[in-house]
Amino acid sequence: MSALLDPRRVKQDFPIFANNPGLVFLDTAASSQKPNVVIDRVSDYYRHDYANVHRGVYRLSARSTELYEGARETARRFLNAADASEIVFVRGATEAINLVVQSWGAAFLKAGDEVLITELEHHANIVPWQLLRDRIGFTIKVAPVDATGGLDMAAFESLITPRTKMVSVTQLANATGALLPVEAIIRLAHAQGAKVLIDGCQAAPRLQVDVRALDCDFYVFSGHKTYGPTGIGVLYGKRAILNDMPPWQAGGDMIETVTFEKTTFQQPPARFEAGTPDISGAIGLATALDYIESLGRAAIEAHEGALTEYGMDKLSRIDGIRLVPAGQRRFGILSFAVEGIHPHDVATLLDGKGVAVRAGHHCAQPLMEKLCLDATTRASLGIYNDESDIDALADALKAAQAIFAR
């Protein structure tokens, strides 16, 4: 494992930069760019190895199946899951959460139960629970953020009760970059007998993740934020829990025997993968995960941690720029307000300088309301970013301020 990441070399692996000279890409939290190895792997697969999986007797289909199941093994290794059968391929983290809600939630939650989430959640970890609650009648409780924008752990602890059946939280908040103490959260939840789902969308591409060390019950992440293709993602679930979960979508591949009277279903993970899956997406994702491993996950974590510090320091030195929330520890994501300029105007002006950032509520409207903001500007880091990108951001912000100072 390499000790240090060289972002300039990494950048050369991503053709988007050669094809868009001057691009300063600071929107990896929305979706990451793709390295050549992933782009090539997907098209090579279609050129050389494509056939449907799990069905054909012929050798080409067997090879395709082997590659698809090999991708599952790569994802298992990436999360350090105990067994590849604990890896379910889905369209992305959104679908993974919906799967857990509609399968596990519908089977095991009842009126009077409680699901505990936090104010830091993405809409995808709020709304699916609300839809099921409206059908079943359980209660959703929301743990608040503290004055610094991190999770208020004292409040969180007081909200976990024997009625809590599920704790569903993000590991790294997409809107503000706040890191949550998921180890403590999982311990507290398990002490009350609750299951825990971790939304790893922002954490999986940035931090070293070990689902066995965490002991979480579910872990979800999206391929497209992890340098892989769009349309593929991973649901990890403990084998014993997946075993007890009913199917959520039905079709080919997930059945054992079908008659018009009765159908029996496959074991996990096939039970949860109805129809032809995104085979090329899974293979492309596995290539992306291998690529991340080749750079070294400790090196990535160290690089993005240091760059986050550099960015916080750089932005806090500009008059009229305020990090949101002010005192918060953050990782990989810098959310900020520019005095007197609306985030959408900031983003347009930065775009004029080739700096791509996100402006808006970041699919976290309740959190924005709590922070008394309609929107923020968000710069988020990836493995290809370095200090020159932060410097370009700072210069573009100063230019935007100059235009609005007229």
Q: How far is the CB of 337 from other proteins (least distance, A)?
A: 13
Catalytic residue among 201, 216, 363, 372: 363
> Given the rule CB under 8 A, which of 189-197, 306-314, 322-330, 396-404 is the region that contacts other proteins?
396-404
Q: Does 344 engage in binding with other proteins (CB under 8 A)?
A: yes
Residue for token pair 């009077």: 112
Min separation Cβ 322 and other proteins, Å:
18
C-alpha dihedral, 318 to 319 to 322 to 326, nearest 10° = 90
Give the binding range for other proteins (CB under 8 A) out of 117-125, 141-149, 176-184, 340-348.
340-348
CB of 175 to other proteins, least distance (A): 13
- By CB under 8 A, tell whether 177 contacts other proteins: no
CB of 359 to other proteins, least distance (A): 7
Pattern of binders to other proteins over 352-381, x per CB under 8 A? x------xxx---x--x-----xx------
CB nearer to other proteins: pick between 180 and 357: 357
Task: Please identify, among the stretches 38-46, 141-149, 173-181, 345-353, the one whose residues bind other proteins according to the rule CB under 8 A.
Answer: 345-353
Whether residue 372 lies in the annotated active site:
no
| 342 near other proteins (CB under 8 A) | yes
Q: Which residues bind other proteins (CB under 8 A)?
A: 340-345, 348-349, 352, 359-361, 365, 368, 374-375, 400, 403-404, 406
Residues marked as catalytic: 363
